[in-house]
Homo-oligomer: A and B are copies of this chain.
Amino acid sequence: MGLRETKMERTRRFIAESAFDLFVAQGYDDTTIEQIAAAAEVGTRTLYRYYSTKEALVVSFVENGLDAAMDAFLAQPDETPLSEALYAVVDSVEQTIGANSARLLALYDIFDKTTGLRAGLADLCWSWRQRLAQEILRRENGTGDVLHAALTAASTMNVIEVVVQTWTASGGGVDVTDITRETLKLLHTKAIPFPSPAAP
């Protein structure tokens, strides 16, 4: 990796850090792009080359976590049963939370102080889920069913969302592992109360 790339990588990080600090200090809406650019010592035009959107500055943190989770999934060899591979995903999220708890709490504080940000987050989760469904399908290589892949990916995303949401709602007070365990247990026992539709 050349000098150029490392420098850009550093700039990229620094911009996100600066933005994060400003958002925490004075709120998302009351922070302008110009302020962030000034704090990160770049021009606004350059900032937009790193993050195409103001939203992206916040969402990127979550995105990194989800990317790690996806990598954890892809790292599982095709031989391992799907259930285990998916557990690796949840496990990765758990680890991310454990490793950045303070930062994440501040992040989610920004999110729920700024209703407009939810959309970006929801969208990120959505496209991540799409990606996962696609990878599940590819993994099962022809034998799989599109509906099944979609539902499985959605279920996985649900677990992640419920765990994260419960954790943040508790202010980081409860243990992530406990929540995860309980959520997975629920998923097996009684979480799906749909009846089969009446036969015609």
- Residues of A in contact with B (beta carbons under 8 Å apart): 81-84, 86-87, 90, 118-120, 122-123, 125-127, 145-148, 150-152, 154-156, 158-159, 161-162, 165-166, 179-188, 190-197
**Which B-chain residue is minimally distant from A162 (CB atoms)?**
B150
Q: Is the interface of A mostly helix, strand, loop or mixed?
A: helix
CA distance in complex: A186, B194 (Å): 11
> Which B residues are in CB contact (< 8 Å) with A193?
81-83, 86, 152
Given A90-B194, A122-B126, A184-B197, 19 further pairs, Cβ under 8 A? A81-B193, A83-B193, A83-B194, A83-B195, A84-B195, A86-B194, A118-B123, A118-B126, A119-B120, A119-B123, A122-B123, A123-B123, A147-B162, A148-B191, A180-B197, A181-B197, A184-B194, A184-B196, A192-B192
Copies of this chain, count: 2
CA distance in complex: A141, B127 (Å): 35
Contacting pair B181 A147 (CB below 8 A): no
> Which B residues are in CB contact (< 8 Å) with A186?
145, 147-148, 151
CA distance in complex: A162, B151 (Å): 7
Contacting pair B197 A188 (CB below 8 A): no
- Assuming A184-B196, A188-B196, A194-B187, is B165 touching A150 (CB within 8 A)? yes
**Which B-chain residue is minimally distant from A193 (CB atoms)?**
B83
**A to B CB contacts below 8 Å, 5 in the list:** A81-B193, A83-B194, A87-B194, A159-B194, A188-B194
Contacting pair A155 B191 (CB below 8 A): yes
Contacting pair A155 B192 (CB below 8 A): yes
> Which B residues are in CB contact (< 8 Å) with A146?
166
Residue among A118, A151, A181 with the most chain B CB within 10 A?
A: A151
> Which B residues are in CB contact (< 8 Å) with A158?
151, 154-155, 158
A171 → chain B, closest Cβ, in Å?
15
